[in-house]
Amino acid sequence: MQLVTSVALLSALLVRHTGVAEDTAFVTAAPHAGSATSDAYPPDGTTVDSVLFPPEAEVGFPGPTPTGVQPAAIQTAASYPYNRGPTNQFPLVAPQPHGKAETEEQFDMTKYWGNLSPWYSLSSADYGLPDANPLAPQGCSVTQVHLLYRHGARYPTSGAAPAQFADKIANATKDGLQVGGDLAFLADWTYKLGAELLTPFGRSQEFLLGIQHRQLYGHLLNNFTETGTIPVFRTESQDRMVKTAENFAAGFFGVPEYLDEVNIEILVEAPGVNNSGAPYYVCTNADVEDLGYIGSTMASTFVNDAFNVTLERLNSQVSGLTFTPTDAIAMLQLCSYETNALGYSAFCGLFSEEDFVNYEYYFDLSFYYNNGPGSPVAAAQGMGYLQEFVARFTGEYPEGWSAMNMTYDNSSTYFPLNQSIYADATHEVVVLDTLMAFNLTALFNGPPLDATKNQHENSFVASKIVPFATHFTAQVLECPAYQPTKQIRFLVNDAVVPVADSYAGCEANEHGLCAFDTVVSVLQDRIAEIDFDWDCFGNYTAEAGVDYNGRAPPKGTGGTSSSS
């Protein structure tokens, strides 16, 4: 097996994380000055004055401080507190699409932003379990929970489409750009976004996610009290990933309690480093355009004719440049990113309801074929987390790891196998890769996505599966009424995912339950059938528009493999 030398950043382990005008007249655009970082906070050289502003422990006078029992809402609540994601997710303001009257039924555009959408609770009915919900079924108790979650809302990737669009506007402004009508705001618009880091809203998402999980699974902390240990939560070394884990921990444990109540393990995310939270850095074929970026190509094809009506309208309101399909995606992304970062974006009102539906499908194509069933490398990239997951159940470290950091993960100190609560932060592509490795086919039920138009025949929707703060949960339960009594089930953003059709030996169950040992056996078989070396390093071809079940075509079949 081909492996890459690994390194881990362990300081965090050893030191606890201490209104647009309707007038069609053109307006000359003003020069676009300044940068997204010109108002950076805090100012350079500033520090906290712990003498004038002493910490809580020095101030004293805490008042009464008795604590109650740990919450266990996952099995004590009468109903589940779903996050339905209203149109205006405070503190975000999402205007209605172009042409939508205030008196009409409101359209929640935030649910059509693909991986840039804020997460919201999904319905188990969407995946074939109308009677299931996240609460423990009657008579069952949750004894262990595994959480794999994505970072919250962030700024765009450095140099991505929004920044390129801003440069295009700035260059056209120098040459006398004129705008009017719906585009009048561009006359004095400037690019205000940072890059890569969590936005304030993104931080709040993770903090609230931590609170939610404390409310649901707080009773599982009793296991740590009994053993005299504290949990290890993991993340990657990118700034937004560290802040994601810290905000989640702060929500889960409180501030400043989390500094002393959890070990946050930070694994290096960089090319050539083995890390199950960023496996694309050790999977060579993930960087091959015709293998790792099939979805990007198909999405670009779809976009060519998806926004013609809107582009014709916008181009009639501008002089000095011509907007292209690529610009349409950039402006839609500015709608998403500016709203998530600044609370509001004038770009949202430029596009119709149909445009947002097409915008979603653009992301559907991209993720379905880059990291979903249409990708030949998806399951291999998710295999590392799958191996870790199974190791926690069997109590044995596998002899051969795929995308693992063996130096530190083959250790009870850095990779404990007996925790009642696990929480691993990662990226949306890794969550999707992991779902493919777990072979949860109910999330992708239907024929492969069509690059020419949305046939609405597949259950996969990017904004449902890979939004900001998306989370994949495994609940281990003790159910005395079942034989065997130890059961397990999987959830994605509060929707229970059935496994009967893809896990041999799992019978249909209204709550999505399956015997623990059966699931472990199925997942061990899945690990055995994923050829990590071939999928990530083999010389093969793959075709667009094919459901590969996230795996490379078998040796000798080239790109003609059908799903398995």
Burial 456-484 (b: 16+ CB within 10 A, else e): eebbbbbbbbbbbbbbbbbbbbbbeebee
DSSP H helical segments within 234-319, as ranges?
239-253, 258-261, 289-292, 294-303, 308-315
Tell me if the bond preceding 42 is cis, omega within 30° of 0. Answer: yes
Euclidean distance between CA atoms 267 and 270, whole angstroms? 10
Q: Which residues, at least 6 apart from 54, have a Cβ–Cβ distance to it below 8 Å?
A: none
| The Cα angle at residue 465 between residues 464 and 469, in degrees rounded to 5 | 90
Residue with tokens 């655009």: 29
What's the confidence (pLDDT) of residue 36? Answer: 57
Residue 268 confidence class, pLDDT cut points 50, 70, 90: confident
Residue 9 confidence class, pLDDT cut points 50, 70, 90: very low
CA distances to 241, 245, 401 from 207, rounded to whole Å, are: 13, 9, 32
**How many CA atoms does the CB half-sphere of 451 hold within 13 Å?**
17
Burial class for 423, CB neighbours closer than 10 Å (0-12, 13-18, 19+)? buried
CA distances to 7, 125, 534 from 271, rounded to whole Å, are: 11, 40, 20
DSSP H helical segments within 423-542, as ranges?
428-437, 462-465, 516-529, 532-537
Residue 72 has pLDDT above 50, yes or no: yes
Euclidean distance between CA atoms 351 and 347, whole angstroms? 8
Average pLDDT over residues 539-550: 96
**Shortest CA distance to 563 belongs to which of 386, 379, 363, 403?**
379
Phi, psi of 237 (to 5 degrees): -85, -10
What's the confidence (pLDDT) of residue 561? Answer: 39
What's the confidence (pLDDT) of residue 52? Answer: 73
Domain-by-domain residue ranges, the chain? 11-15+93-155+198-292+368-537
Residue 411 confidence class, pLDDT cut points 50, 70, 90: confident
Residues 523-536 have pLDDT tens digits of 999 999 999 999 99
Average pLDDT over residues 339-357: 95
Residue 53 confidence class, pLDDT cut points 50, 70, 90: low
Q: Spell out the SS3 assignment of 456-476.
A: CCCCCCHHHHCCECCEEEEEE
- Output the DSSP codes for 325-380: HHHHHHHHHHHHHHHHHHS--GGGGGS-HHHHHHHHHHHHHHHHHHTSTT-SSHHH
C-alpha 531, offset from chain centre: 25
Average pLDDT over residues 551-562: 71
What's the confidence (pLDDT) of residue 468? Answer: 98
Residue 23 has pLDDT above 70, yes or no: no
At residue 497, the 3 state secondary structure works out as: strand
Euclidean distance between CA atoms 496 and 228, whole angstroms? 33
Residues 190-200 have pLDDT tens digits of 999 999 999 99
Residues 358-390 have pLDDT tens digits of 999 999 999 999 999 999 999 999 999 999 999
Euclidean distance between CA atoms 210 and 151, whole angstroms? 12
What's the confidence (pLDDT) of residue 92? Answer: 79
Residue 212 belongs to what H/E stretch?
Answer: helix 200-217
**Shortest CA distance to 87 belongs to which of 70, 104, 73?**
104
Euclidean distance between CA atoms 402 and 431, whole angstroms? 16
Residues 73-125 have pLDDT tens digits of 888 888 888 988 755 577 777 778 898 766 677 889 999 999 999 999 999 99
**How many CA atoms does the CB half-sphere of 36 hold within 13 Å?**
19
11-15+93-155+198-292+368-537: CATH homologous superfamily?
A: Phosphoglycerate mutase-like (3.40.50.1240)
Residues 171-230 have pLDDT tens digits of 999 999 999 999 999 999 999 999 999 999 999 999 999 999 999 999 999 999 998 999
What's the confidence (pLDDT) of residue 528? Answer: 93
Euclidean distance between CA atoms 332 and 130, whole angstroms? 34
pTM (2 d.p.)? 0.90
Euclidean distance between CA atoms 456 and 472, whole angstroms? 24
Euclidean distance between CA atoms 191 and 331, whole angstroms? 12
Average pLDDT score over the chain: 88
Residues 437-487 have pLDDT tens digits of 999 999 999 999 999 999 999 999 999 999 999 999 999 999 999 999 999
